[in-house]
């Protein structure tokens, strides 16, 4: 920055007290209405989750993982469970595999529904906030019917799942999907064709795929650039049942700027994600086989693990979510657990994305990246 600009510049802290700042603090250097420098600061949500994992046994660890990101609780707890299954070499019954996949996709829909409602609030379109949040309640009711809790579901366990589908929980899940499939196309057309929405989001937060990959972005933020990068297809998990259904990785290609994505593309990409997840659930629900939901010896086997290392990963709502687990011999607790959340990359990419935009667009840029502070403050 040249010295004349620095003299004029003002420094503004966006957060941690701002409502739409999600409990995080970003230092913005502003000249007039334009942002010239953006300095993201992680650490305001730090709860030392990785250290907590070292003091919990292998049944209890998944509880901490799901509390990192309550919105995608089914997805968040899975990497831990997967890593434990790898080290203990547990077999997952067929029924549990399908049930896990169904609930993880339902969790993805729920999280994305919450996100686009919240994105509406960040844009100042408050009616848009309430539409998906009503539909989301139906998914929460289905989760409650199945697991007994609306957010802290505690569903996956090493070697299977804890709660079995009953007639009512399947009915409630189908009811939620019916409502979603009825209302989502209307909302999508209404929002994506809205001139107000286009004015706020087109050409805002533009980056190309090479930049995104360099910053470490993953998930919908990269798929919006037109790259079909998805762990569900790229690295099929033997403990999940994505190969049992027919689906394509949703990508968004914009003709105005191919290979790049703006906030508008990221919004339309996430609508496609919701539709894909709904179609996966629709295909898997009739295919749930009969049988046990958990290996009866899994609890005893996961009590003490042999020495080993494992790397559990899953395509989360916001991107690739991984957990590295290392155990000592006959250990009851992990020696080390390292979490890689998807949002650390998207939060620090603001440093490159934001400078040059106006202050009003800053909210749009960070909202469109779908950040969640639990994933960067572990």
Partner 1 sequence: MGFFSTLGDIFRVLRHTFRQTMTRPFTYFYPFEDRYYPDTTRGRHIHIRKNCTACAQCVKACPTIAIRIDKQDRMYEKDAALHFDYTRCIFCGLCVQACKFNALFHTKIVDLSEETREDLQYGPDRMGTLERKPLKWRGRTFR
What residues contact residue 52 under an 8 Å CB cut-off, 6+ apart? 64
Q: Which is nearer to partner 1, 44 or 163 (CB)?
A: 163
Q: What is the CA radius of gyration of the chain?
A: 21
Q: Which is nearer to partner 1, 152 or 285 (CB)?
A: 152
Q: CB of residue 165 vs partner 1: minimum separation in angstroms?
A: 11
Going by C-alpha positions, the residue among 202, 226, 231, 233 that lies closest to residue 212 is 226
Q: Does 208 bind partner 1 (CB under 8 A)?
A: no
Q: How far apart are CA 262 and CA 201, in angstroms?
A: 7
Looking at residues 9 to 68 of the shown chain, list those that interact with partner 1 (rule: CB under 8 A): 56, 59-60, 63-64
Q: How far apart are CA 307 and CA 199, in angstroms?
A: 56
Q: Does 152 bind partner 1 (CB under 8 A)?
A: yes
Q: CB of residue 84 vs partner 1: minimum separation in angstroms?
A: 15
Task: For 322-346, give the DSSP string.
Answer: EEEEEE-TTBSS-SEEEEE-SHHHH
Q: CB of residue 343 vs partner 1: minimum separation in angstroms?
A: 23
Q: Which is nearer to partner 1, 59 or 358 (CB)?
A: 59
Q: Which is nearer to partner 1, 149 or 253 (CB)?
A: 149
DSSP H or E run through 188: helix 167-192
Q: How far apart are CA 21 and CA 19, in angstroms?
A: 5
Chain mean position to CA 262:
19
Q: Which is nearer to partner 1, 148 or 185 (CB)?
A: 148
Site string for partner 1, 159-188 (x = CB under 8 A): ---xx----x--------------------
Phi, psi of 194 (to 5 degrees): -70, 125
Q: Which is nearer to partner 1, 113 or 154 (CB)?
A: 154
Looking at residues 132 to 151 of the shown chain, list those that interact with partner 1 (rule: CB under 8 A): 144-149
Site residues for partner 1 per CB under 8 A: 56, 59-60, 63-64, 144-149, 152, 154, 162-163, 168
């Amino acid at each position: 920055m040249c010295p004349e600009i620095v003299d004029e510049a003002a420094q503004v802290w966006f957060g941690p007290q701002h409502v739409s700042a999600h409990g995080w603090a970003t230092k913005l250097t502003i000249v007039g209405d334009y942002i010239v420098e953006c300095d993201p600061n992680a650490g305001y949500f730090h709860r030392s989750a990785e250290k907590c994992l070292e003091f919990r046994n292998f049944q209890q660890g998944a509880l901490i993982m799901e509390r990192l990101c309550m919105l995608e609780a089914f997805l968040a707890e899975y990497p831990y469970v997967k890593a434990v299954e790898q080290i203990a070499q547990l077999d997952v019954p067929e029924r549990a595999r399908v049930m896990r996949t169904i609930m993880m996709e339902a969790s993805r829909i729920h999280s994305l529904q919450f996100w686009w409602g919240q994105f509406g609030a960040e844009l100042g379109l408050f009616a848009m906030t309430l539409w998906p949040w009503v539909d989301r309640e139906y998914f929460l009711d289905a989760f409650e019917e199945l697991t007994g809790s609306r957010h802290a579901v505690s569903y996956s366990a090493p070697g299977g799942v804890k709660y079995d589908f009953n007639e009512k929980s399947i009915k409630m899940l189908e009811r939620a999907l019916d409502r979603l499939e009825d209302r989502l196309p209307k909302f999508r057309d209404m929002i994506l064709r809205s001139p107000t929405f286009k004015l706020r989001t087109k050409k805002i937060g533009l980056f190309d795929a090479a930049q995104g990959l360099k910053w470490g972005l993953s998930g919908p933020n990269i798929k919006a650039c037109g790259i079909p990068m998805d762990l569900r297809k790229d690295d099929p998990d033997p403990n999940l049942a994505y190969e049992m259904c027919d689906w394509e990785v949703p990508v968004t290609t914009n003709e105005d700027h191919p290979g790049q994505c703006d906030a508008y593309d990221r919004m339309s990409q996430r609508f496609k994600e919701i539709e894909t997840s709904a179609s996966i659930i629709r295909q898997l629900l009739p295919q749930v086989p009969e049988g046990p939901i958990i290996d009866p010896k899994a609890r005893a086997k996961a009590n003490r693990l042999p020495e080993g290392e494992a790397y559990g990963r899953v395509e989360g709502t916001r991107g690739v979510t991984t957990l590295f687990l290392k155990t000592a011999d006959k250990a009851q607790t992990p020696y080390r657990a390292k979490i890689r959340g998807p949002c650390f990359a998207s939060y620090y990419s603001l440093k490159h994305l934001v400078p040059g935009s106006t202050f009003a667009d800053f909210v749009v840029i960070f909202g469109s990246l779908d950040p969640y502070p639990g994933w960067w403050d572990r």
